[in-house]
């Protein structure tokens, strides 16, 4: 039995047309990019993953994702000065929203050791991380994960000790064979375009965004090769 034929006959993208919004389960009337375009650089990758979404959710996360992209870039460059930021999209966003720029600037502080430390808006970060994880789980497995997860965690890669970094980078495992026709099934089967992959990490854009899914129960995400995120439902 050829997994590629199963994928063609029972295609995941066709079945996704019958599911609800990836984020709330409501009737979808649009599609959403996972990850959001603001988290990536131009030119965008070909065939950027999309999932069904309702208009409310699709637009409802926009400001949080804009905050996430801008905050992360300011942390990485150590400044909110537009001319020193490396990402053009972030420069444009902060130029368009001086209020957001001031908010992020106010979140930076110098600790007792003289080190610049940034205090993120925890609620916004968690909303974005969970939103991304739900999108990836649906895209890879064809099943929505709308229930509240057990954990949502995130930490800079450089803040991990060696053992934790190794465990995180080893990537989630597919303990069983995922549903026939899902992208995770193709990865497990090792067929094109996933043949020869040594792990389950999917690089959406080198140096900017990668993720891995473990049977829908775990999703791991790395933003800008800096922030390591994990969402677990079990």
* pLDDT over 80 (residue 194): no
* pLDDT over 50 (residue 141): yes
* pLDDT over 70 (residue 171): no
Helical ranges in 39-182 per DSSP H: 55-60, 62-77, 88-96, 98-106, 122-141, 162-169
How far apart CA 136 and CA 159 sit, in angstroms, is 25
Stretch 133-159: mean pLDDT: 94
Using alpha carbons, select from 16, 15, 10, 11 the residue that is nearest to residue 52. 16
pLDDT at 208: 97
Domain span at 127:
3-61+122-232
| Residue 114: inside a domain | no
pLDDT band at 47 (very low <50, low <70, confident <90, very high): confident
Angle between helices 88-96 and 62-77 (to 10 degrees): 120
pLDDT at 216: 62
How far apart CA 101 and CA 150 sit, in angstroms, is 33
pLDDT at 173: 55
What is the pTM (predicted TM-score) of this model?
Answer: 0.84
Using alpha carbons, select from 212, 210, 208 the residue that is nearest to residue 224. 208
| Residue 99: inside a domain | no
DSSP-assigned letter for residue 200: S
* pLDDT over 90 (residue 178): no
In the chain, the number of structural domains is 1
* pLDDT over 50 (residue 167): yes
| Residue 135: inside a domain | yes
| Residue 97: inside a domain | no
| Residue 174: inside a domain | yes
| Residue 26: inside a domain | yes
| Residue 70: inside a domain | no
| pLDDT, averaged across the chain | 86
pLDDT at 38: 97
| Residue 224: inside a domain | yes
């Amino acid at each position: 039995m050829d997994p590629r034929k199963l994928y063609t006959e029972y295609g995941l993208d066709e079945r996704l047309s019958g599911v609800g919004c990836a984020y709330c389960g409501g009737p979808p009337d649009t599609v959403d990019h996972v990850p959001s375009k603001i988290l990536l650089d131009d030119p965008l990758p070909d065939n950027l993953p999309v999932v069904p979404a309702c208009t409310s959710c699709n637009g409802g996360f926009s400001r949080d994702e804009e905050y996430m992209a801008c905050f992360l870039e300011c942390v990485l460059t150590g400044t909110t000065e537009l001319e020193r930021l490396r990402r053009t999209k972030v420069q444009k966003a902060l130029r368009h929203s001086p209020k957001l720029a001031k908010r992020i600037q106010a979140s930076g502080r110098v600790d007792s050791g003289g080190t610049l430390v940034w205090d993120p808006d925890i609620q916004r970060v968690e909303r974005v991380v969970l939103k991304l994880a739900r999108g990836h789980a649906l895209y890879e497995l064809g099943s929505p994960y709308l229930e509240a997860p057990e954990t949502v965690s995130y930490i800079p890669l450089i803040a991990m000790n060696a053992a934790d970094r190794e465990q995180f980078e080893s990537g989630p495992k597919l303990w069983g064979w995922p549903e026939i026709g899902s992208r995770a099934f193709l990865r497990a089967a090792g067929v094109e375009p996933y043949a020869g992959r040594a792990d389950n990490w999917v690089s959406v854009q080198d140096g900017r965004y990668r993720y891995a899914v473990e049977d829908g129960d775990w999703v791991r995400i790395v933003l800008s090769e800096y922030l390591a995120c994990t969402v677990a439902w079990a």
